[in-house]
């Protein structure tokens, strides 16, 4: 099973979460996991993957333009039979963020959601990540991998 983890990152916090998610998936034996910045993806990346994990910092309550653009490219490459999950980085007081909007976009394309979108807390506008958030991301990656095996 091939998985692509796609992310946009303004200050490096969302990138750290994406890498931790990939690490968690690999820890439980998923060897075919690719982690890429949203602006470095191509339709072929999505065609070859069985599952898409897409993340973004939360900007004005939603995902960045780059994250939305990557998901649109993914959908145009063929969403039939794909599985997915989403994540974001957000301030502690945000009740919702980019993950929910990205997940809604995926569901609209008929992508089966593996795990509900997960938010990871940053302590300030530019970060850093709150304590324990990278470990939480590793755990999220493990859960996604477990969902792919069922």
Angle at the Cα of 79 from the Cα atoms of 107 and 30, rounded to 5 degrees: 95
Bridge partners, 34 (sequence order): 4
Report pLDDT digits (tens) over 79-124.
Answer: 999 999 999 999 998 888 999 999 999 999 999 999 999 999 999 9
Cα 77 versus chain centre, distance? 18
Domain count, the chain: 1
pLDDT tens-digit readout, 119-140 = 999 999 899 999 999 999 999 9
Residue 90: CATH number of its domain: 3.40.50.360
Tokens encoding 134: 């990278």
Task: Give the residue carrying structure tokens 């780059």.
Answer: 66
Domain of residue 21, residue span = 3-149
Q: Is the peptide bond before 128 cis (omega within 30 degrees of 0)?
A: yes
Whole-model pTM over 0.75: yes
User: Hey, what are 105's tokens?
Assistant: 């976009």
């Amino acid at each position: 099973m091939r998985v692509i983890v796609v992310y946009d990152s303004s200050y490096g916090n969302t990138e750290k979460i994406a890498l931790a998610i990939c690490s968690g998936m690999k820890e439980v034996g998923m060897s075919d996991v690719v982690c890429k910045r949203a602006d470095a993806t191509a339709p072929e990346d999505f065609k070859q993957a069985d599952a898409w994990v897409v993340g973004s910092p939360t900007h004005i309550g939603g995902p960045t333009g780059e994250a939305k653009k990557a998901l649109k490219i993914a959908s145009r490459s063929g969403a039939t039979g794909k599985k997915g999950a989403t994540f974001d980085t957000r301030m502690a007081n945000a009740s919702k963020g980019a993950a929910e909007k990205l997940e809604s976009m995926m569901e609209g394309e008929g992508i089966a959601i593996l795990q509900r979108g997960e938010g990871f807390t940053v302590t300030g506008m530019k970060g850093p990540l709150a304590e324990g958030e990278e470990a939480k991301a590793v755990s999220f990656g493990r859960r996604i991998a477990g969902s792919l095996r069922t």
